[in-house]
Structure 1
Amino acid sequence: MGKAKKHAGLAVLLAVLLAGCQSGPQRRPQTVIDGFAQGGTYHIVLVGDSTSGGLKGQLDSLLWRVDNSMSLYNPTSRLSRINRGETDTLDRFIANCIRTADTISRESGGRYDITIKPLTAAYGFTGDRPVQQPNVDSLLQFIGYDKIRIDGCRLVKKHPSVQIDLNSIAQGATADYVARWLDSLGWKDYLVEVGGEIFARGHNAKGGLWRVGIDKPIEGNVIPGAQLQVRIGISNRGLATSGNYRKFYTDSLGRKIVHTFDARTGAPVISNLLSATVVARTAAQADAYGTLCMVMGLNESIRFLESRPDLEAYLVWSDDRGNYRTYMTPGMESLVLQ
């Protein structure tokens, strides 16, 4: 399991971010705040009469703290220093992600695993120079969710070379952090999107569900919103989409190298599952479970989702003739907007 820069590799797009984009008069005032975070962008829509003065600066400060905690592209971040063995002290951002990831790793028998960093680095997906034909077997000895544990505020590694990649959960977790902060300020209706990962609370300015568009997972569809697969409505849930159709490269041997890996084998995962959109209680969970589906592939994902009534999903896959097909959980069917 592993994902590279999330904003470049995700299929999710906030296609109808503003309630004002819908037809008819706007019923409630709204405020839009956007900016840059974690190598991508963020968008926040607040609905209501409460003052939003000064929120932009406070949000940027919060997001700066998150970036300085979990970013693999920031060499001075806490996570980068933990991976280099310069510190073992965790902050709440990293600790919460590790706890969530550990639960999903155990549920999936290690298919989802944040200790994938040696592989994602070797293949050039964490800002490192890719290694031509990396020795995967030598890297696998340092990969495994059971090779790390939290002891108080410390991260304990079974080997100094164990490293963590949070790219499959960090942006979803960031959306959750911002959501909880907005909750503490008394906001009841808002949408938070960070690098494509979403948490929505309450209702939009029209009093309806927040409307989210999912991109068609086709190579060449590099502009978010240019070609949409479906629109769905959500409230009080997190949403994320994973896919391999944007973030990949061809190596010197002509092999397609995608940014999703099976932590058990070390191999890039290529299957007929093109994208997986997951709706969960939190954006961090949706983020991680979306990645897990891409690792498992279509049939195993369907079996897993059928055992998890707490998750909703929309899967896009390709049949033997190259036709696009879809699978929806029963609950997701009710969220699809006509």
Structure 2
Amino acid sequence: MMRFFVFIGMICLFSACVREQYRRIEGKIYGTYYRITYEAKEDFSEKLKAEMEKVNASLSMFNPRSVVARWNRGESEEVDSLFMRMFQAAEKINRETKGAFDITVAPLANAWGFGYKQNRFPLPEEIDSLLQYIGMEKLKIAGCHLLKEKKEMEIDASSIAKGLGVDLVAEFLEGHKVRNYMVDIGGEIRAKGESDKERPWRIGIDKPIGDVAASGRELQMIIQFTGGAIATSGNYRNYYIHEGKKYAHTINPRTGYPVQRDILSSSVYAPTCMEADAYATAFMVLGLEESKKIVENNAEIEVCFVYEQEGENKVWMTEKFKDLVVKEE
């Protein structure tokens, strides 16, 4: 009888140690890909897609029925809770970066052909005219309404919304007791626990090589972590050439022109992907020295900047970011 109980106990112990199934789903959303890997008994595929679609319903400029699209057209000032969550984070980072991150950049993005309107290369006087509609300080929250100082103002949340979509999926998984997962939407990533290889999740960071088709991808480095989010912003894929000069998709909201700074790519490790996404964009606008000052005063983020100096690409990382690196190419 004793042997029987010992045998049953060993079975129970063994069963407790067996890992649950790692599930993978992938597809297209927000104009890019998504790949989600998680360890769970239950298949959450449809529910995870529903979480991602919440962002399209609230923050997409390309969905004519979204909260943002209707606000941009002046049809409604009412906003939802997801918009409010995005707006509060954007407002904080806008203040911290002294306007380098600004979701009211939509008129400029459209003028340069990187928004929902496909224009190209505006005249200087057009840019000067549009600057009057830029600035988060011209917006005001009143209850569940967002008021704008000028009716021509529009919002482009693309530099923060994708990260928020990643967070929604991660929070859903954590709410269902999933301990091991990685959510990747267009290279914006949040992960927790371990991969099916029983090690921390490993993520490659691309070299900032000018390649619109992303056909010549090379890795700058590989990092690993068991909790947190990483987002990378760069101007080496989304750009066009006009009269021999490169014009990239990151617009400086303070000048109205595409960014021409020393940082080639900005990778930010943060508690949430929404924060990582927004800071990565802001640092592209600020450049190396201004960005360093912000990073030094923010204990919640770690960064890796690939920048150009005297015609050569160089790398600057915070000390804690260096701890994430497992392999450099």
Q: What stretches of structure 2 of length at least 5 have no aligned partner?
A: 1-17
Question: Contact 2:193–2:226 at 8 Å: present in 1 too?
Answer: yes
Deviation at 1:306, TM superposition (A): 2.0
- The Cα shift of 1:146 comes to 0.5
CA contact (8 A) 1:46 1:190 kept: yes
Contact 2:77 2:146 (8 Å CA) reproduced:
yes
Which residue is 1:327 aligned to? 316
Aligned partner of 1:138 in structure 2 is 129
Contact 2:51–2:165 under 8 Å retained in 1: no
Structure 1 segment 81-230 matched on structure 2, within 5 A: 81-134=70-123, 135-220=126-211, 222-223=213-214, 226-230=217-221
Matched with 2:32 is 40
TM-score by length of 2: 0.89
Distance 2:203 2:215 in 1: 12
Task: Map Cα deviations across residues 7-40 of structure 1 (whole Å, 9 max, x no partner).
Answer: xxxxxxxxxxxxxxxxxxx976411111221111
Match of 2:12 in 1: none
Q: Could you say which residue in structure 2 is the equivalent of 1:290?
A: 280
Please list every run of 5 or more consecutive structure 1 residues that lacks an aligned counterpart in the other structure.
1-25
Q: Distance in 2 between matches of 1:56 and 1:307?
A: 39
2:66 matched residue in structure 1: 77
* CA RMSD in angstroms, aligned pairs only: 1.8
Greater relative CO, 1 or 2 (CA 8 Å, sep 6+): 1
Q: How does 1:270-289 map to 2 (within 5 A)?
A: 270-289=260-279
Q: Percent identity?
A: 38
Bigger Rg, structure 1 or 2: 2
Question: Is the 1:213–1:225 Cα contact (8 Å) retained in structure 2?
Answer: no
Using the TM superposition, give the Cα deviation of residue 242 of structure 1 relative to its aligned residue in structure 2, in angstroms: 0.2
Q: How does 1:6-25 map to 2 (within 5 A)?
A: none
Question: What do residues 186-238 of structure 1 show as CA deviations (whole Å, max 9, x unaligned)?
Answer: 11111111121111112222332210001110112743783111000122211
Aligned letter for 2:241?
A: T
Alignment check: 8 A CA contact 1:215 1:225 kept: no
Q: What is the TM-score when the length of structure 1 is the normalising length?
A: 0.86
Structure 2 residue 252 is the aligned partner of structure 1 residue 262:
yes
Q: Provide closer, same or farther for how the CA distance between residues 110 and 226 of structure 1 changes in structure 2, counting only shifts above 3 A.
A: closer
Asked whether the equivalents of residues 52 and 168 of structure 2 are also in contact (C-alpha less than 8 Å), the reply is no
- After the TM superposition, which parts of structure 1 deviate over 4 Å for at least 4 consecutive aligned residues? none
Give the total of aligned pairs.
308
